[in-house]
Every structure is written in C-alpha cells, then in structure tokens.
Amino acid sequence: MDYTDKIRETARKLLEEKTVDFIIGFKKGTLPMMTEPVLIRDPKDTDQLYWGSFCNINLANYLPKREERIGVIAKGCDSRNMAVHIVENQIKREQLHIIGIPCTGMVDRRRIAAFLDGKEAREVLESDGDIMVKGEGFEHTLKKSDYLQDNCIRCMHRNPVIYDVLAGDLVEERKDPDPFEDVEEVEAKGPEEKWKFFSSLIENCIRCYACRNACPLCYCPTCFVDESDPQWVGKSNDPTDTMTFHLLRAYHCAGRCTDCGACEQACPMDIKVRSFTRKLNKDVLNLYECEAGLSIEERPPLDTYRPDDYDKFIK
C-alpha cells in the first residue's frame, strides 16, 4: 500500500486551502532505513513528504504546547498519543487535522542489520510486503512481516483512533488473545533474576535521554532527572541512578503509553526499554480495563477515580 501520493495530495490541499498553518510529516532520510520528521508550510514543498515502513518516530512528539493549526500524519499508535495529548490539554482537537495511516507495521532496521551481520545496506526498497536490501556484493528480498518492530508484531490498534482523513483503507486488526507474553516471561522470574534482568538491560545506558525525548508523553518543562533544586537523581552513569531514571520514567508513563516503540527506535545503544513500560501497560489493562488514548472522551485511568476501581492493594 503506497500512502505517499495520498499524503502529498492531502497535504497540498490542506496548505493551499489554508486549513492548516503547516504540515508535520516525514521526508525520506539520507540513510537507507531512516526518515526525518519535517515541517512544511509551502504547498510546493509537499513533494518532500514520504511514507514507508521506516516512519517509526512518533510525530505526536512534536505537538505539545503548539498554538497553530497543524496537519499531522498519524499511524494507529501515533493517533492514540494525540488523543492522550488532547485529554491532557497539551493541544486542542480543533488545532489538529490528522491524516490517518492504517498501518501494517514498521520494519525494525536493527533486525535487518542483524540479518546482514556487519554488512552495510546501501539501498533499501519496498514493494508490496517485500523489502529489497542491496549492498556491496549482495541483494536480498525479505518479507516485511518477518522484520517488524516488536511493538508492531503485538499491535492491537493498527488503525488510527482519531483522524480527519485517511490515507488508505482501514486494515484488519489482529486478534491475538495474549499480546503480553513477553511481559509474562519476565513476570515468571524470581526477584533475584528479575533484578539481574533489568540491571543487565540498562548496563549500556549512556543517559542520553533519547528514549525520553522521543516519547510524546514526556513533555514536562523540566524532567525529574534534570531538577537540581532539589536534586532527585544523580547525573552520572551510576547504575542505581540509571535504574531510577528508567523505572520512574516508566511509572510516569503508566496508563498513558501506547507502545509506539519510538523509545526503542531512538536508543543509540539498542536497549529494549519497552521492557519497563510493557509491564505497566499490562497492569493498567488488567486492573482498570484501560488502554491509553482510545478516546478523547475518557480520562487516563490514573487520574480518575471510579468507585469500582481495583483496590485490593489497600490493606
């Protein structure tokens, strides 16, 4: 499914008719498996817009506190984050003109890199569910569905939940009885094992905060790790401080995370940081029957009280 033409056409129209002040979308990257978020004001520039299976940055990240009218591209997870932004007063629904993308998943460039085992991809082309990877002395055709990002494999909301126009036909949602088997694997470990699992998960963390900054939920003017008066968390790469950062950030995202995977895609050290947030997503779903961002009418589960809320932990 090639959404690029529809996106360009829609964007051009929105700008020409001045329905929006600018468009936020993707343009083709300077590397084979990368794309770059772009802001376009001039209808003539809409030819830069591009859609493919490597558009994995969550564009909702660029919305909070803006005052203009914005046309923005959103896949299922992105649109849920936009719903969360609306509910949390970071942007108004009227400001957004959402170009919805029914999504069949994003390809994980690291899985392709692992397949190439040290060889560089010089050109990557997509067509009809196939990914053609070319390099010096090799050419492979891979099935896109074999190389999806982990969050896309488990995705339960591929279609946008709010949108103003769709760039293609709605796709069928998955019917996986248990998308949380990865969490259950960790839950089954004993306390010592769990501690070791999480400690070794973040041992390469360099506190670059790419995960936090790529996350649409993290829009606090001053993040708790940056506060110095009082200082909550040390700024060195001390393992305890690093663990504190990841755990606390995950808790700040509880009930709000849509599992878009931008954090994992952003991490320069390839750390699977979703291991922290997935557990909280599972708990919120099971305890409060809530998934983030499915509607702009509902408040997030952790900022509302219902009389029948699960409360067995209060002893």
Partner 1 sequence: MPDNPYLPYPVRIEQIITETEDRNLKTFKLVFLHKEDEEQFSYIPGQFCELSIAGKGEIPIGIASSPTEQGFLLFTVNKTGVVTRYLHIMKEGDIIGVRGPLGNWYPWEEMEGKNVVVIGGGFAFTTLRSSIVYMLHPDNRSRFKDITVVYGARSPGLLLYREELSDWEKRDDINVHITVDATDDPDWPYNIGFVPTVTEQKITTSENSYALVCGPPIMIKFTQPVLEKVGFTPEQIIMSLEMRMKCGIGICGRCNIGDQYVCKDGPVFSLARLNELPPEY
Partner 2 sequence: MSDKIIKKEHFPEFLKSLKESYEVFVPVRDGEFYAFKPLTDEKNVGLNFLNTRLSPKSSLFPQSERMFEYTLDEESEDGHIVKESSKDHPATAIVGIRPCDAKALRLVNVNFDTQQFRDPWWAKRLEAMTFIGLGCGDPCATCFCTSVECGPFHEEGLDVLLFDLGDEYLARSITEKGAQLLDAAGVTEDAKGNTKKRADELKAKAEQKISSHVPTGKLKEKKVLDLFEAPFWDDVAFACINCGTCTFLCPTCWCFDIQDEVHRSDGDRIRNWDSCMFPLFTLHASGHNPRSEKVQRVRQRFMHKLKYYVDKYNNGVACVGCGRCVKHCPVNIDIREVFKLMNEL
Q: Which is nearer to partner 2, 129 or 239 (CB)?
A: 239
Q: Which is nearer to partner 2, 245 or 290 (CB)?
A: 245
What are 39's strand-pairing partners? 24
What are 125's strand-pairing partners? 132
Q: Which is nearer to partner 1, 14 or 223 (CB)?
A: 223
What are 139's strand-pairing partners? 134
Which one of 4, 95, 145, 213 is in contact with partner 2 (CB under 8 A)?
213
Using the contact rule CB under 8 A, the part of the chain among 34-42, 79-87, 147-155, 279-287 near partner 2 is: 34-42
Cis peptide preceding 307, ω within 30 of 0: no
Q: Which is nearer to partner 2, 114 or 170 (CB)?
A: 114
Q: Taking Cα atoms as reference points, which of 48, 47, 30 lies closest to residue 38?
A: 48
The yes or no reply on residue 222 touching partner 1 (CB under 8 A) is no
- Classify residue 303 by its DSSP letter: G
Rounded distance between C-alpha atoms, residue 80 and residue 161, angstroms: 6
The yes or no reply on residue 126 touching partner 2 (CB under 8 A) is no
The yes or no reply on residue 118 touching partner 2 (CB under 8 A) is yes
The contact pattern for partner 2, residues 235-274, with x = CB under 8 A and - = no contact, is: xxxx-----------------------x--xxxxxx----
What are 124's strand-pairing partners? 133
The yes or no reply on residue 89 touching partner 1 (CB under 8 A) is no
Q: Which is nearer to partner 2, 89 or 222 (CB)?
A: 222
Q: Which is nearer to partner 2, 176 or 270 (CB)?
A: 270
Q: Which is nearer to partner 2, 235 or 299 (CB)?
A: 235
Report the b/e string of 2-39 with b at 16+ CB within 10 A.
Answer: ebbebbbebbbebbeeeebbbbbbbebeeebbbbeebe
Paired tokens of 147: 């190389």
Report the b/e string of 247-284 with b at 16+ CB within 10 A.
Answer: ebbbebbbbbbbbbbbbbbbbeeebebbbbbbbbbbeb
Which one of 228, 307, 313, 314 is in contact with partner 1 (CB under 8 A)?
228
120 binds, among partner 1, partner 2, none (CB under 5 to 8 A by kind): partner 2
283: left (phi over 0), alpha (psi -120 to 50) or beta: alpha
176 binds, among partner 2, partner 1, none (CB under 5 to 8 A by kind): none
Which one of 12, 80, 85, 212 is in contact with partner 2 (CB under 8 A)?
212
Q: In the complex, which residues of this chain contact partner 2 (CB under 8 A)? A: 29-31, 34-39, 57, 61-62, 110, 113-114, 118, 120, 122, 204, 206-210, 212-214, 222, 226, 228, 234-238, 262, 265-270
